[in-house]
Amino acid sequence: MDQSKNSWELNSEWWQNSFTNGANAEYSQQLLPLVVELMSGFQKVLEIGTGEGQIIRALKEVSINSVGIDQSANQIRHGKKSDPSSVLVRSLAEQLPFRNSFFDAAIACLVVEHVELFEESFREVSRVVKSGGRFVVAMNHPLLQSPGSSWVEDWTTDPPEKYWRIGSYLREERSEEYFGDGVSIPFTHRPLSRYLNALSESGFVTTRLIEPEPFGIYEEELKWKNEIAFIPRLLIIVCEKSSGTD
């Protein structure tokens, strides 16, 4: 089995305990409200890589009907427990079990970095979303959070300087992100152009980029490296399916 797929099965409980149902403030206070805002006005919404469905539950609270798909049986099972009325389907993002133009909009939240054949999944989303429909892709910022990016302290200056080093941005690579307690999840870093070009080739026009301020910065961190407040962790691409491409 693909290691990435296996990791999500093995670590589904870790994901739920650490990131869902209010466990993660960045999600509950920043990402979920933003997704709800970006999806408002759309009726039938698809989420690819829905995990245990926290986004589709948030959309349901504002009366947006949505369907979530995920390749992990454990994530789907947990999602069904959290809300038995959620529509969650086990499926790959690269092969969606829906008819053409079925949805008004779609979202992929912190997923594309984990999908090997991500271009295939964009083509599939384009197939199932109506012309004029919206596709929102939220990801770890591919430029500012590329592997190897980190704070550097330069003690050769007085006072010492602290700056954010950008890792090997152009090198596309698959690596493991270690979260502690034996949990590691493979992801692929790709330059931003790969995503924007693939969206364009799938018939999407980018209408807006959102780089939210990093969430949950502590006073202590600000004293030490105040630039931290100006380096986004997330990038959100908002695009629209070109008309005449149904």
Ligand X SMILES: C[S@@+](CC[C@H](N)C(=O)[O-])C[C@H]1O[C@@H](n2cnc3c(N)ncnc32)[C@H](O)[C@@H]1O
- 75 lies in the site for ligand X, by CB under 6 A: yes
- 119 lies in the site for ligand X, by CB under 6 A: no
Distance separating alpha carbons of residues 229 and 221, to the nearest angstrom: 9
State which of residues 92, 106, 128, 231 lies at the interface with ligand X (CB under 6 A): 92
Report which residue type is found at 197: N
Q: Pattern 4-43, binding to ligand X, x per CB under 6 A? A: ----x-----------------------------------
Distance separating alpha carbons of residues 222 and 218, to the nearest angstrom: 6
Q: Which residues contact 234 (CB under 8 A, 6 or more apart)?
A: 31, 138, 139, 140, 141, 211, 212
SS3 156: coil
Pick between residue 119 and residue 240 the one whose CB is nearest to ligand X. Answer: 119
State which of residues 11, 39, 45, 49 lies at the interface with ligand X (CB under 6 A): 49
Q: Are 162 and 152 in contact (CB under 8 A)?
A: yes
- Chain residue whose CB lies nearest ligand X: 51
The region of 57-65, 66-74, 202-210, 212-220 touching ligand X under the rule CB under 6 A is 66-74
Q: Minimum CB separation from ligand X for residue 71, in Å?
A: 4
SS3 80: helix
Identify residues 181-200 at the interface with ligand X (CB under 6 A): none
Pick between residue 9 and residue 227 the one whose CB is nearest to ligand X. Answer: 9
Q: Please count the other Cβ atoms lying within 10 Å of the Cβ belonging to residue 21.
A: 13
- 115 lies in the site for ligand X, by CB under 6 A: yes
Q: Minimum CB separation from ligand X for residue 144, in Å?
A: 19
Q: What is the DSSP string of 177-222?
A: EEEETTEEEEEEE--HHHHHHHHHHTTEEEEEEE-PPPS---HHHH
Q: Minimum CB separation from ligand X for residue 42, in Å?
A: 17
Pick between residue 210 and residue 228 the one whose CB is nearest to ligand X. Answer: 210
- 71 lies in the site for ligand X, by CB under 6 A: yes
- 141 lies in the site for ligand X, by CB under 6 A: no
Q: Minimum CB separation from ligand X for residue 222, in Å?
A: 27
Distance separating alpha carbons of residues 141 and 160, to the nearest angstrom: 27
What stretches of 49-161 show up as alpha helix (H) in DSSP? 54-61, 73-82, 118-128
Q: Which residues contact ligand X (rule: CB under 6 A)?
A: 8, 49-51, 54-55, 70-72, 75, 92-94, 109-111, 114-115
